[in-house]
């Protein structure tokens, strides 16, 4: 067995993006366009999803991969699991790789859960004998025994994830790569999955885990890497990766002011997002103003979603306009206000992410759109030592009462 589970040297992935015009998927349109413009040749821009990345991962490590949207986290996993080929660079894997990158990856929708366990195991390079030996453990862990002979196209997304994770985690691959699909599962299954991945690392397997939630990385991982715009900015301790993540906030906030640099299709964009009060007390309402451009050619209404994040990037609360029945028409510029009540945030710095979406996809993602500071004032009537509020994510409006 090699000294390292994964060795990567100079890894680069470049995509070509058609510049101007629209790509066609009909041969008749392509022929007509060529006849009309015989000398015209398509022009492409290059997008570097991964740029000259090098690292070594030893056996038995659980490595967290953190970074903001578009940093290259999922691209890195797809390269390591050989779903896509690198433009240049070297990847040396010390064993078989089991992966769970998207809901339903490696499953055939027309086959039953039972059949997909054997199919997925075979794709991972396992023999029928190996799969049969672990079959009962896989089914028991997934909790989908009642639906084992049902076609997986009839599964919910949570059932899909539970079965797919169980297959990837229990079959005897030396390397396990997991993207943030576990967010689909319920809290109990997430906790069980994290414990399973931790055990896998203790038993000598290597785990790669992509997550937007730093608390999950902290709970699971023994080391972490921080990716920034396709480059490896830090690889070392989990605390060091989180610190590197926090240190880039101000520069990233400035960069995201440019709408063209933000993720999303760009068919419609935010023109403004601003927290009205940059400093406030824990009990104050949080008021965020937002505005969007117009696009009369865009078909269908859109909704808005807001995330409030703490200084480590953990999502404290999500406010989605679908929950209140608020949809917006793109025919003209819109201005709005989000008011969050009764959210007693603990003292510290918080950032605001805004998402502009349709049912068919994401139009604009404005991460770090604004930030605000919650002052170190206590909303409680009594003064006590710090450990009275040291645990938990937010403060609560509560009261103890004696009953008979």
**Structural domain containing residue 322:** 263-374
Per-residue pLDDT of the chain (404 residues; tens, 9 = 90+): 567 899 999 999 998 876 655 556 677 777 777 777 777 777 777 788 899 999 999 998 999 998 887 788 889 999 998 888 999 999 999 888 877 776 556 688 899 999 999 988 887 777 888 889 989 999 998 888 999 999 988 988 788 888 888 887 887 788 888 887 666 566 777 778 878 888 888 888 898 988 777 777 887 889 999 998 899 999 999 999 988 888 888 888 888 888 888 888 999 999 999 999 999 999 999 999 999 999 999 999 999 999 999 887 888 999 999 999 999 999 999 999 999 998 999 989 999 999 999 988 899 999 999 999 999 888 888 877 677 887 888 888 888 888 87
Task: Read off the pTM.
Answer: 0.71
Helices marked H in 211-269 = 214-220, 238-247, 249-255
pLDDT in tens, 185-215: 667 777 788 788 888 888 888 989 887 777 7
For residue 149, the model assigns a pLDDT of 92
- Does residue 363 belong to any structural domain of this protein? yes
Task: Specify whether 182 is located in the same domain as 71.
Answer: yes
**How far is residue 370's CA from residue 287's CA, in Å, rounded to a whole number?**
12
Task: Specify whether 77 is located in the same domain as 216.
Answer: yes
Measured N-to-C along each axis, helices 157-170 and 128-142 cross at an angle, to the nearest 10 degrees, of 140
- Supply the mean pLDDT for the chain: 86
- Does residue 383 belong to any structural domain of this protein? no
For residue 71, the model assigns a pLDDT of 85
Q: How many Cα neighbours within 13 Å face the side chain of 401?
A: 4
Task: Specify whether 280 is located in the same domain as 212.
Answer: no
Task: Specify whether 169 is located in the same domain as 61.
Answer: yes
pLDDT in tens, 327-358: 999 999 999 999 999 899 998 999 999 999 99
Task: Specify whether 76 is located in the same domain as 112.
Answer: yes
- Does residue 70 belong to any structural domain of this protein? yes
Which of residues 247, 276, 304 is at a domain's end?
247
First to last CA, the chain: 67
Task: Specify whether 199 is located in the same domain as 344.
Answer: no
Task: Specify whether 94 is located in the same domain as 232.
Answer: yes
For residue 216, the model assigns a pLDDT of 77
Task: Specify whether 230 is located in the same domain as 161.
Answer: yes
Task: Specify whether 19 is located in the same domain as 168.
Answer: yes
- Does residue 349 belong to any structural domain of this protein? yes
- Does residue 398 belong to any structural domain of this protein? no
- Does residue 389 belong to any structural domain of this protein? no
For residue 338, the model assigns a pLDDT of 96
Task: Specify whether 241 is located in the same domain as 303.
Answer: no
- Does residue 255 belong to any structural domain of this protein? no
Which of residues 188, 214, 247 is at a domain's end?
247
For residue 360, the model assigns a pLDDT of 85
CATH number, domain containing residue 285? 2.70.50.60
Which of residues 216, 247, 278 is at a domain's end?
247
CATH number, domain containing residue 99? 3.40.50.300
Task: Specify whether 326 is located in the same domain as 350.
Answer: yes
Could you give the percent of the chain with pLDDT greater than 70? Answer: 94
**How far is residue 306's CA from residue 324's CA, in Å, rounded to a whole number?**
13
- Does residue 325 belong to any structural domain of this protein? yes
Task: Specify whether 151 is located in the same domain as 285.
Answer: no
Q: What are phi and psi of 113, to 5 degrees?
A: -60, -40
Regarding beta strands 4-19 and 270-275, do their DSSP bridges make them parallel or antiparallel, or are they unpaired? unpaired
Specify the number of domains making up the chain: 2
Nearest to 350 by CA among 307, 304, 287: 307
């Amino acid at each position: 067995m090699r000294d390292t589970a994964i060795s990567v040297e100079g890894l680069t992935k470049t995509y070509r993006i058609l510049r101007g015009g629209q790509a066609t998927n009909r041969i008749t349109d392509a022929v007509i366009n060529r006849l009309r413009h015989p000398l015209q040749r398509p022009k492409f821009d290059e997008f570097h999803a991964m740029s000259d990345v090098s690292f070594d991962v030893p056996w038995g490590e659980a490595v967290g991969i953190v970074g903001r949207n578009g940093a290259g986290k999922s691209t890195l996993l797809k390269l390591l699991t050989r779903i896509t080929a690198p433009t240049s660079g070297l990847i040396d894997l010390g064993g078989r790789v089991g992966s769970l990158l998207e809901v339903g990856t490696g499953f055939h929708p027309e086959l039953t859960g039972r059949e997909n366990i054997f199919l997925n195991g075979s794709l991972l390079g396992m023999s029928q004998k190996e799969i049969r030996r672990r079959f009962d453990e896989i089914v028991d862990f997934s909790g989908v025994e009642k639906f084992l002979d049902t076609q997986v196209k009839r599964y919910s997304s949570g059932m899909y994830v539970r079965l797919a994770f169980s297959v990837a985690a229990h079959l005897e691959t030396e390397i396990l790569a997991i993207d943030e699909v576990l967010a689909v599962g319920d809290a109990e299954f997430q906790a069980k999955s994290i414990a399973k991945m931790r055990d896998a690392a203790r038993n000598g397997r290597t785990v790669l885990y992509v997550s937007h939630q730093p608390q999950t990385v902290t709970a699971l991982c023994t080391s972490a890497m921080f990716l920034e715009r396709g480059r490896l900015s830090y690889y070392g301790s989990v605390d060091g990766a989180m610190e590197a993540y926090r240190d880039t906030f101000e520069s990233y906030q400035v960069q995201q002011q440019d709408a063209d640099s933000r993720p999303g299709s760009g068919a419609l964009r935010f023109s403004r997002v601003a927290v009205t009060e940059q400093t406030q007390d824990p009990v104050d309402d949080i008021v965020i103003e937002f505005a969007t451009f117009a696009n009369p050619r865009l078909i269908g209404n859109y909704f808005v979603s807001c995330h409030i994040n703490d200084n480590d990037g953990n999502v404290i609360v999500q406010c989605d306009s679908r929950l209140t029945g608020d949809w917006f028409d793109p025919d003209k510029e819109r201005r709005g206000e989000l008011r969050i009540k009764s959210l007693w945030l603990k003292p510290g710095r918080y950032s605001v992410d805004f998402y502009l979406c349709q049912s068919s996809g994401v139009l604009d993602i404005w991460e770090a759109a604004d930030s605000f500071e919650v002052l170190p004032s206590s909303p409680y009537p009594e003064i006590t030592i710090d450990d009275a509020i040291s645990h938990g994510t937010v403060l609560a409006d509560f009261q103890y009462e004696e009953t008979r």
